[in-house]
Amino acid sequence: MHPEDEGVSIVFFTGRQEIPRKVTKDSVIEVFERENLFVSFTANEENVYLYIDGLDGYDSSMLHLDEEGIPCLRSGTQKFPLYSDENEDYPLIPADYMVFVKRKGEQNDSIEATLRVRPNNITEDQLDVMRDELNEMVQGLAYDRTRLSHGVKLNEKSGLPATVVLGKFVILKHIVNEFGVTLENLVRRPDQQLERHYREVKSNVHCKQDAKSSRWLLSEQGQRANAAAKSREHPEVILGIIYSLTYNTPENRMVLGFLHYVSSQMELVLRAIHCTITEDQRAIETREPYRAIQKSTNHEVRALKNKIMSLESMKLDMKKGIFYVQKYMGS
């Protein structure tokens, strides 16, 4: 059954232009984090309420509490601010929030929908693509391109086949070049969010409260803290909400985990290059006494020296890449 069939209207207004997005049964309303978001709700009955996951994080004085003490919105609510430039109370972190309508006293929801908040910066899909690209065992063009341009064959004492090491080198170098600007922007403007904490404070302290604060007052701990209070309506101690800004967000943790992985793969490639250079230098030392008497040996030594020059260039690329990645990780 659709909302309009039950006399219910739920409309989200998104962005600075407040574009209306009408909710239908099982619909998914997608918005971006920190995008202005309001909701209006009307129903043909007074005892029908709108519930949205996360409303308990909002100022309880602006909400209605149902018979179970759960915060909700009454019919007639017009453009209730879930998030706006001027009011950042509602923690719209990227996630799916259930939206549903329920009549007073009934167990089953009459209408259900989803409010989906997407991250502004790097999405999970983008990170998955980057991981897949890094993990791919490159056997084709990437390997051929490196082999032709450097004339290099790495030894396999590093524990990985030469094709895999060369493939990783190509992709890692590409990632550092391709995503450098993106990472710079993330360092300058990292994702952040308000983190909510609860603390027992004197009731005369100006502090926001929510449904959890109300439940705390009725709990044994709350009653014990207010044993000397004159009445339940005038407590001496409340459970207040304290907000602090944190950069420990799911998006930042995903990016940091990806950078750790890239850095470890670069270290692996760097070790393989170093092992190959060391072995080639030993090969040159072994052949050096015979260069003057054997023309073929002279050609071998020259080829090894050219190979080492190419490897030194690759080694420098990896060192630069590790430096940049670790710089971003420490920012």
- Level-2 CATH architecture, domain 3-118: Sandwich (2.60)
Q: What confidence tens digit (pLDDT) does each residue in 216-242 have? A: 888 888 888 888 887 777 888 888 888
Residue type, 190: P
Cα 304 from chain centroid?
46
Q: Which has the higher per-residue pLDDT, 47 or 255?
A: 47
Tokens of 242: 């304290």
**DSSP 3-state assignment of 254?**
helix
Left if phi > 0, otherwise alpha if psi is -120 to 50, otherwise beta: which for 266?
A: alpha
pLDDT band at 38 (very low <50, low <70, confident <90, very high): very high
**Once rounded to an integer, what is the mean pLDDT over residues 169-176?**
72
Decide: residue 218, CB within 10 A, 0-12 exposed, 13-18 middle, 19+ buried.
Answer: exposed
**Once rounded to an integer, what is the mean pLDDT over residues 183-189?**
69
Q: If we measure between CA atoms, which residue out of 44, 100, 55, 118 comes closest to residue 81?
A: 55
pLDDT at residue 179 is higher than 90: no
Q: If we measure between CA atoms, which residue out of 208, 223, 230 comes closest to residue 91?
A: 208
Q: Domain limits of the chain?
A: 3-118, 124-189+249-330, 195-246
Tokens of 141: 């063009």
**Once rounded to an integer, what is the mean pLDDT over residues 35-51?**
90
The rounded mean pLDDT for the chain is: 76
Q: What is the pLDDT of residue 76?
A: 92
* Cβ(104)–Cβ(67) below 8 Å: yes
Q: What confidence tens digit (pLDDT) does each residue in 93-117 have? A: 667 788 999 888 776 667 788 898 8
Distance CA 156, CA 146 (A): 17
CA distances for 129 relative to 25, 122, 164, 268, angstroms: 33, 11, 19, 21
Q: Which has the higher per-residue pLDDT, 111 or 76?
A: 76
Q: Identify the H or E element spanning 237.
A: strand 237-246
Most distant CA atoms of the chain, gap in Å: 107
Q: What is the pLDDT of residue 149?
A: 43
Distance CA 8, CA 25 (A): 11
pLDDT at residue 181 is higher than 70: no
* Percentage of residues of the chain with pLDDT beyond 90: 10
Q: What confidence tens digit (pLDDT) does each residue in 272-314 have? A: 888 888 888 888 888 888 777 777 778 888 888 888 888 888 8
Tokens of 212: 């959890």
